[in-house]
Structure 1
Amino acid sequence: MALESIRYRRGSLSVLNQLLLPERIRYERVGGAERAWTVINSMEVRGAPAIALVACLSLAVELATGADAGAGTGGDGDAGTGAAGGTGAGGDVGGDANAGAGGDADAGADTSTGAGVGAGTDGDAGTGTSTGVGVDAGTGTGVGAGTGTDGDAGTGPSPGAEVAALEAFVQQRLRFLLTARPTAVNLLREAERLQELIRGWSRSPGITAPELRERIIEHIEGLLAKDRQDNESIGAYGAQDILRRVPPGATVTILTHCNTGSLATAGYGTALGIVRTLHAQGRLRRVLCTETRPYNQGSRLTAFELCHDHIPVTLIADSAAAAAMGEHRVDAVLVGADRVAANGDTANKIGTLALALAARHNRIPFYVAAPTSSLDPMVPNGSLIPMEERPGRELTHLQGLCLAPPGIDVWNPAFDVTPHDLITGGVVTERGVFPPGDVTRALSACAARGQ
């Protein structure tokens, strides 16, 4: 069975707590926007597509369960100062499972309530310098309770007022969720798209608040299937482009960084989606995955995910990547993206730039795999992409063990920017593979043709 980072049905959302992998598989309930903010900020869930999905689905849960009824639904006061990531969520969906080496789990082996989630974060999640935006509690505008019926003049807000209040509630919740992590653009793009749709729907003659609420929920629910479909298209386009560079029938070795698979998306993955396609075609020799310090997304997540799916993988230290490119005859380097600027400069997990430089030196094609929702045409180049800096403790400590002298000065950026001219393979999207400097224009042309 494939790993799932997100489990959703109407009115109910749970996410796989990725801080506990690979030792334990545990799903945490997300009952609304405040809990979604915490799981995103603490990196219980991570990956740009998954962040956008969890945030939007948490809003759908609130709407489905009536959380918008009642005025002043605020955004967890001063949320930008960061919430400790070790609280759990009132009982775990599916219980605790002890993951084996191959990823199989003994479901229900433990019924832990989720206390002490902060493995690797030690309760300091969210205190990074870029996340401290904060939203004052009580700024939201909810839909007033006790709405009047037709003809009961003065007993409650008019249908138009209810629609306006619902629109204001959604806008407030989206603003709050956007403060959780600033670099990944997918959530911003989805928030902008949803607000544009709501503005159009709210102007429909005779629309009521319940009708508008249903349209919003249906739109958000559709994002799950779209993400999976987009990832499969990315996999097909990327595999085709890599294989055209090697002799017919040859197998390839891929080097990847961080985690870009089912755990970072609704399923299948972006860069790992290409890996999965190559494997399914019998054309994958091996994957080399970096450990991806300091959060070890490569060793904890990518290695776990590939072992679970029986895909041949070798784990390497970050500092071994350049040597491995020659020693293991790497055919392509595949990474994901948190934001791609208009000129093709790409923000991704810290360490990506070093891989791109090593790939250029070794004349190995370097690819960025990302859905079009990761592209930000409003940002001209990578120097203008906001960069998140994580707490120093994430670098100096590992699961409570101190790895550095107490009080040492720490610089711990979560991302770096790879200039577009180092992305020599191209940017792989659900619409095709494009030269990085041309990706915005090419995708605009695709949209104009209705593709």
Structure 2
Amino acid sequence: MKQLQSIKWEDGKLTIIDQLLLPLETNYIQITSVEEGWDTIHKMQVRGAPAIAIVGCLSLAVELSKKEYQDKEELFGTICTKLDYLVTARPTAVNMKNAVVELKKYVLKLHTDSKVSTQDMVTRTCGWCERFLENDIDNNKKLSDFGAKSVLAAADGVDKVCLLTHCNTGSLATAGYGTALGVVRSLHSAGKLEHIYCTETRPYNQGSRLTTYEIMCEIMPGTLVCDSTVAALMAHKKIHAVLVGADRVAANGDTANKIGTYQLAVVAKHFSVPFYVCAPTTSIDFTLPAGCHIPIEERPNDEMTCVAGKRLACPGISCWNPAFDVTPADLITGGVVTEVGVFKPSELIQKLNTNDTF
């Protein structure tokens, strides 16, 4: 089975697939600095909460490895400044923020350890970023296995399942394998996938451009549907579960994800279809008690009014173009699928919060 590799890290060089060119052109671009990393994230040449954090961290590793630092204080200040800058590229996705918090803790220990030289500090910081990439792939496979088992159990003895997903949550959104689409991939590998439906995901068309690309690469039985078709789809086709990703999950389970997720959850609840959020624990923000506190990024008007540079809407019309919406926890009926298990939204604080935030 062909596997996509959207992020390549080889011999200290970072290259990524330019997702703005997909599905018509597969082109890798090299990232040589934090500024270039920030730019590719902000322009959405790379997107997906896990992938944003990975590319951000590895862009720091690339930059650190190109320069010799003589002073640990200067190095520590540079690392912290660059990490804070990377967080500003896409504010809703929490994985970058969480990675920055953990990496800063690690770097602080190196900085205060007199036995660690300046060059050792660079080497170990780069090593942390490399392990971050490797851990994402491992965690995605664990998450996908948990999700596949839960979906099959909820389908109550059905041999093969029909699923619906939104946006793109596969290898293009992560270091590899994926989250929600990883669950689909796991079911397909086991011969348990009857069909996968994916929404086009307007206005940026991540479903039609990216998810269909992954489906066709792996020859899955799939169908693209318009965003406005999901209610009719569930009324006329048997859908066993809806699987989506997450850019940030609040402590109570409220979930920020690609715009349009909320309405999918409402429709799924109406038809009694289990609705799953598939996200690594790094996407959970225990510092926020509820979804109303999640900052929602708004994108430029032309991403909504134009496609491939061609205008679709009447010039001068005003636009409201939030990149994400927040799905209330009570609509996440299937559960939150993570690399350590599947949990009800109400269980997240008790079973996963190790920081005693609440």
Secondary structure of 2:235's counterpart equals: helix
- Give the partner amino acid of 1:345: D
Secondary structure of 1:172's counterpart equals: helix
Give the conservation status (yes or no) of the 8 Å contact 2:296–2:323. yes
How far is 1:439 from its partner?
1.2
Post-superposition CA distance 1:268-314 (Å, at most 9, x none): 00001100111111111000000000010000000110111011100
Counterparts of 1:391 and 1:202 in 2: how far apart (Å)? 40
Give the conservation status (yes or no) of the 8 Å contact 1:322–1:358. yes
Counterparts of 1:10 and 1:378 in 2: how far apart (Å)? 37
- 1:282-293 pair list within 5 angstroms: 282-293=191-202
Give the conservation status (yes or no) of the 8 Å contact 2:169–2:179. yes
Higher Cα Rg: structure 1 or 2?
1
Tell me the residue number matched to 1:27: 28
Secondary structure of 2:203's counterpart equals: coil
Post-superposition CA distance 1:88-117 (Å, at most 9, x none): xxxxxxxxxxxxxxxxxxxxxxxxxxxxxx
Tell me the residue number matched to 1:186: 95
- Identical-residue share of aligned pairs (%): 49
- Give the partner amino acid of 1:307: M
- The answer as to 2:241 corresponding to 1:240 is no
Unaligned runs of 5+ in 1: 70-142, 148-161
Give the conservation status (yes or no) of the 8 Å contact 1:57–1:221. yes
- 1:5-20 pair list within 5 angstroms: 5-20=6-21
How far is 1:11 from its partner?
2.7
Tell me the residue number matched to 1:414: 323
- The answer as to 2:349 corresponding to 1:440 is yes
Give the conservation status (yes or no) of the 8 Å contact 2:286–2:353. no
- 1:5-404 pair list within 5 angstroms: 5-66=6-67, 69=68, 143=69, 147=70, 162-248=71-157, 250-404=159-313
Secondary structure of 2:14's counterpart equals: strand
How far is 1:249 from its partner?
5.2
Counterparts of 2:109 and 2:302 in 1: how far apart (Å)? 46
Number of equivalenced pairs: 355
Post-superposition CA distance 1:233-268 (Å, at most 9, x none): 111000111111224352100100000000000000
How far is 1:206 from its partner?
2.4
Counterparts of 1:170 and 1:441 in 2: how far apart (Å)? 34
Post-superposition CA distance 1:415-440 (Å, at most 9, x none): 00000000000000000000012112
Secondary structure of 1:215's counterpart equals: helix
Secondary structure of 2:26's counterpart equals: strand
Give the conservation status (yes or no) of the 8 Å contact 1:183–1:385. yes
How far is 1:444 from its partner?
3.2
- Give the partner amino acid of 2:133: L
How far is 1:175 from its partner?
1.0
How far is 1:10 from its partner?
3.5
Comparing 332-341 with 393-402, greater Cα deviation is found at 393-402
Comparing 386-395 with 242-251, greater Cα deviation is found at 242-251
Counterparts of 1:27 and 1:280 in 2: how far apart (Å)? 27
Counterparts of 1:221 and 1:206 in 2: how far apart (Å)? 23
Secondary structure of 2:27's counterpart equals: strand
Secondary structure of 1:28's counterpart equals: strand
Q: Give me the TM-score of the superposition, normalised by structure 2.
A: 0.97
Give the conservation status (yes or no) of the 8 Å contact 1:292–1:299. yes
Unaligned runs of 5+ in 2: none
Post-superposition CA distance 1:329-368 (Å, at most 9, x none): 0000000000000000000000000000000000000000
Secondary structure of 1:264's counterpart equals: coil
How far is 1:371 from its partner?
0.3
Secondary structure of 1:368's counterpart equals: strand
Counterparts of 1:279 and 1:249 in 2: how far apart (Å)? 14
How far is 1:201 from its partner?
1.9
Counterparts of 1:249 and 1:358 in 2: how far apart (Å)? 22
Counterparts of 2:134 and 2:241 in 1: how far apart (Å)? 29
How far is 1:205 from its partner?
2.9
Give the conservation status (yes or no) of the 8 Å contact 1:11–1:65. no
Aligned-residue Cα RMSD (Å) equals 1.3
Comparing 340-349 with 8-17, greater Cα deviation is found at 8-17
Q: Give me the TM-score of the superposition, normalised by structure 1.
A: 0.77
